[in-house]
Amino acid sequence: MTQFESNPYAHPEDMLHDDAKTHGLAIGSLVCSLVCCIPFLGLLGALLGVFGVMAISRDPVRYKGKGMAIAGIIIGLIVGLVWLPGAYFGWKGVSYAMEIGQFVKNGIPSHVMAGGQGDYAKFLDGFVDKTLSEADATAYFTELEGRYGAIRSVSIDPQQQQQQAQPGQPEFDMDYIVTFADDSTHVMQAHIQVANPNATGWNDAFGYGLIRITVEDADAGDLTFP
């Protein structure tokens, strides 16, 4: 027997290892981890890598690629951790936009109706400025009622339904139609804040509410609060 012949005493595992196939989970792990442009695919790659290492460890004679699977785990975790903050802030941004939409559509009419019914605390709760007094609100609605009677309804002006805040602008205007007890209707312009213009960081950037409202009347004069 020469030195180039097979060793008859070699362990069968050593003799078959050269013919082992790279496990598909190891390949999938590395591929998923390297595709950085798809959110959460890196975490899937890391998970496949874990399963790949386990599968290869159970049958090292038939399969190889443990190093590839480990690389997939490491890269996948790095990519996944990079994506997680973006996903969180994206989700928070979408949720915040939905809150603003509900406030503009339903919240503002509800706050104004509450003021018309004498619930000044709820009315003032819709404003950004928390120093406004119930005495000022009482005077405002007393003057409104003296002119037109009680408020019957408040709804977004259909012509303004699609109006949105301009990108980068923390404030915008929205028109509403207010119907009073004397059957008159008037446009109420609401000046709305959708982001804190004085924010110093992400944590205090969120903050929406009314800045002021103006019931327009070309004949008797506009009534603005505050």
| 0.75 surpassed by pTM | no
Do 122 and 210 reside in the same domain of the chain?
Answer: yes
Asked, for residue 137, whether it belongs to a domain, the answer is yes
* Region label for 221, one of left (φ > 0), alpha (ψ between -120 and 50) or beta (otherwise): left
Asked, for residue 92, whether it belongs to a domain, the answer is no
Q: Which one of 38, 70, 87 terminates a domain? A: 87
Full residue range of the structural domain in which residue 74 is found: 12-87
The closest of 16, 43, 46, 53 to 29, measured between CA atoms, is 46
CATH value at residue 138: 3.10.450
Question: How confident is the model over 117-161, as pLDDT tens digits?
Answer: 999 999 999 999 999 999 999 999 999 999 999 999 999 988 765
Question: How confident is the model over 35-60, as pLDDT tens digits?
Answer: 666 667 777 888 888 888 888 888 88
- Between CA 46 and CA 34 the distance in angstroms is 11
Q: What are phi and psi of 206, to 5 degrees?
A: -85, 135
> pLDDT band for position 15 (50/70/90)?
very low
155: buried, middle or exposed (CB in 10 Å: 19+, 13-18, 0-12)? Answer: middle
* pLDDT value, residue 200: 63
Domain count, the chain: 2
- Given a contact cutoff of 8 angstroms between Cβ atoms, the answer to whether 171 and 194 are in contact is yes
CA angle 118, 139, 111 (to 5 degrees): 40
137 or 23: which leads in pLDDT? 137
Asked, for residue 171, whether it belongs to a domain, the answer is yes
Do 143 and 217 reside in the same domain of the chain?
Answer: yes
Q: Which one of 43, 67, 87 terminates a domain? A: 87
Do 206 and 122 reside in the same domain of the chain?
Answer: yes
> Is the predicted pLDDT of residue 191 greater than 90, yes or no?
yes
